[in-house]
A and B are shown apart, each in its own frame.
Chain A
Amino acid sequence: MNEIADNMTEFADLSRDLDRLAEADAAEMPPALAERAYLASVAGLTRSEPEAIPFVGAVPSARWSLSGSRIAAGLGLMGAIGAVLLATLGRPSVPTGSVSGEIAAAPGSSAEDALWIAVEDAWDDDLWSEIDLIYAETAGVGDDWLNPSDDESLDAWLDLGFGAGGAM
C-alpha cells in the first residue's frame, strides 16, 4: 500500500495532466453527436416492439433510422399529395446542417414508393455509399434492417417490399 501511496504522490501532476488530456479529447466531441447516436440507435432499441405508424388515408407514412460511417439520421416522412422529407443530417466531414426536400408522390402512392423517391431526391451517390445500415418500419409493410453493401440483405429488403418502384 505504501508503494501505491508513493506512486500516487510521484505521479500526481502527471495523473492530473492525463485527466486534462482526456477532457481536451472529450471537448472535441461535436455537441450533436450524442443526439445523432441516439437517433441512430433508438430504432435498434425499440426494434422488438416497433411503434405503430398509422396510415392516414392515402398519406404515405414511415419511419427510418440510418446508421452509417459518417451519417446518422432519424427520418420522418409524411405528407398528403406531396410527401415532405425532413432529415437532419450530421456528417463530420461537412458542416452539420439539415436537408429538406419535397417530393411529388402521386395520390395513393405507397409509403415505400415515397421513401425511396425521397431518398433519391435527398441524397447523392457519395452520401448513399456512406450509409452502413438502415432500419425502417412502415405500417402495413413491416420492418427490417438493410445493409446497402450486402447483397443478401438487399435481396431480403426488396422481398419485403421496400424499394418497389423506387430508387433502387
Chain B
Amino acid sequence: MGLALKVEPPANPFDEHRVRGLVDAASRGDAEAWRMLVEAYSGRLFALVRSRCGSRELAEEITQSVFVTLAEKLGTGLYQEQGRFESWLFRIAINRIRDEMRRTRRHATPTDPVSFEFAGPTREDSRADPDRLTALREAVAELSDAEQEVIHLRHHAELSFKQIAELLGEPLGTLLARHHRALKKLQTRLTSATPSSERGART
C-alpha cells in the first residue's frame, strides 16, 4: 500500500514562481492574470467554504466575496505577503467563514452540521462510494471545530501543513498532532459505523 497521507503540498498547476508572476501582474491591473488566478483557485476555495459552511449557496457567496476582497487589496497595493499568496487567500476565506459562522450563531440559526445537506456528490464519481462519503462527511462534522478546520484546509484547500501553520498562526507540530488526532477519530467512527463484512472487503 502506498503512502497516501501527503506531507508535501499536492501538485499545483501553478508553481510558486508562476503564481508570484500572476499576482504581480494582477496587482498592476492585468485583468487576464487575475482571471487565471480566479480560475486556478476558485475550485479549492469553493470546496473549502462548502465544507466549512455546509451550504452551497453560502459557499458561492463567500467564494465570490473573497475574490472581491482580494482584488481590492491587490488593486490598492495592500498585498504585502510576497511568496505566501495561497496562505493569504485562504486566510481571507477562513476569516470570512468565521465571520459567517459567528453571524449565523448570533441569529440562532441551527448550525448543527449533521443537519446540513448530505446529498453527496452531484457529479458521478465512479471511484467514490457515496455511502462511505456520506458517512465520512457526518464523521467530520462530529469533530471539534479546530479539527474540522485543519482537515478541510488540508484536503479541501489542498494546503501544506506549513501553509496551514502560517495561515492559522499556530506551530507546525500542533497542527500535525491535531490532524493526526482528527484522522484517528474519523477512523474510529467510520470503523464502528461500518459492518464488519464491509470492513473486510476494504482491506
Contacts and interface: CB of A to CB of B under 8 A. Distances in A.
Interface in A27-85: 27-30, 33-34, 36-38, 40-49, 67, 69-70, 72
B18 interface: no
B60 A30 contact: yes
B183 A40 contact: no
Contacts of B76: 47-48
Interface string A117-137: 000000000000000110000
Interface of B: 1-7, 26, 29, 31, 34-35, 38-39, 42-44, 46-47, 50-51, 56-57, 59-61, 63-65, 67-68, 70-72, 74-77, 120-123, 125, 127-128, 132-133, 136-137, 140, 151, 154-156, 158, 176, 180, 183, 186-187, 190, 202
A92 B56 CA distance: 8
A21 interface: yes
Contact of B38 (A17, A21, A37, A46): A37
B76 to A, nearest CB: 6
Contact of B122 (A28, A40, A49): A28
15 contacts: A4-B7, A8-B5, A12-B3, A13-B4, A14-B190, A23-B121, A24-B123, A27-B123, A27-B125, A28-B121, A30-B60, A42-B71, A47-B75, A49-B29, A133-B68
Given A14-B186, A22-B156, A41-B70, 19 more contacts: A4-B176, A7-B5, A12-B1, A13-B202, A18-B155, A21-B128, A21-B133, A24-B123, A25-B50, A37-B64, A41-B71, A42-B35, A44-B71, A44-B74, A45-B72, A47-B72, A49-B29, A69-B61, A92-B60
Main SS of the interface on chain A? helix
Contacts of A70: 57, 60-61
Contact of A21 (B59, B75, B136): B136
Contact of A45 (B71, B156, B183): B71
Contact of A27 (B5, B121, B155, B183): B121
Given A12-B2, A24-B125, A46 B44 contact: no
Nearest to A5: B3
A102 interface: no
A38 B38 contact: yes
A30 to B, nearest CB: 7
Best-surrounded residue of A12, A18, A45 (most CB of chain B within 10 A): A45
A126 to B, nearest CB: 15
B67 A40 contact: yes
A38 B34 contact: yes
A75 to B, nearest CB: 16
A98 interface: no
A45 B29 contact: yes
A90 to B, nearest CB: 9
Contact of A20 (B38, B74, B128): B128
A53 B63 CA distance: 29
Given A5-B3, A46-B29, A48-B75, A36 B123 contact: no
B64 A72 contact: yes
Closest 3 CB pairs of A and B: A24-B121, A41-B71, A26-B47
A9 B190 CA distance: 17
B72 A17 contact: no
B38 to A, nearest CB: 5
A119 B176 CA distance: 51
